[in-house]
Amino acid sequence: MDFSLASTTGQPFTLSEHRGELVLLYFGYRTCPDFCPTTSIELRNLYQALGDSASQVKIVFVTVDPERDDIDSLTRYIHAFHQDFIGLRAEGDSLKTLMRQFGVVAQRRPVGDDPQSYLVDHTASIFLIGLEGRLQAQYLYGTDYQDILSDLKNILRGTTG
């Protein structure tokens, strides 16, 4: 499993370049009213609780709403939670292929008459990509960040001790 997408770092984010690090991947969108901000706060709490180990973990947010989420707005959004978080953006088949790899579903739901007025119902899981670049776990929405933190610490402890 590998992919390379435009990122908020100014350089393409290529998963294979992050082997040896843990990657927590989340699919969502900037104007999400509930799941995304809640999950991003949990990820911020997790990242801060990692302390020095945070340098071995990447928190990555992939927008499922590329029409409204350009790189600039995505950067402002994701950095509001933490400066180290990375936002990714893809369109069309590239996004569909990546979503399919993770079993992610995203579907527009109109809200009103304005074509720009919609919500996106989407899979709200966090995906853990392990040190070898393979999917290692999927955390469903509502998983306490302490549980994910415990998993990450165990994995990282296994590499250093």
Nearest to 102 by CA among 142, 138, 143, 64: 138
* pLDDT for res 159: 64
- Beta carbons of 49 and 57 less than 8 angstroms apart: no
Range list of H helices, the chain: 35-49, 71-79, 92-102, 145-160
Which residues, other chains included, contact 133 with Cβ-Cβ below 8 Å and sequence gap of 6+?
1, 2, 15, 16, 18, 19
Give the CATH superfamily of 4-154.
Answer: Glutaredoxin (3.40.30.10)
**What is the residue extent of each domain of the chain?**
4-154
* pLDDT for res 120: 94
pTM of the model: 0.94
* pLDDT for res 116: 79
Degrees to nearest 5, angle at CA 132 with 142 and 88: 55
pLDDT averaged per 10 residues, the chain (length 161): 93 95 97 94 96 96 96 97 97 94 94 86 96 95 94 86 46
* pLDDT for res 112: 82
Which residues, other chains included, contact 128 with Cβ-Cβ below 8 Å and sequence gap of 6+?
22, 23, 24, 25, 135, 136, 137, 138, 139, 148, 151, 152
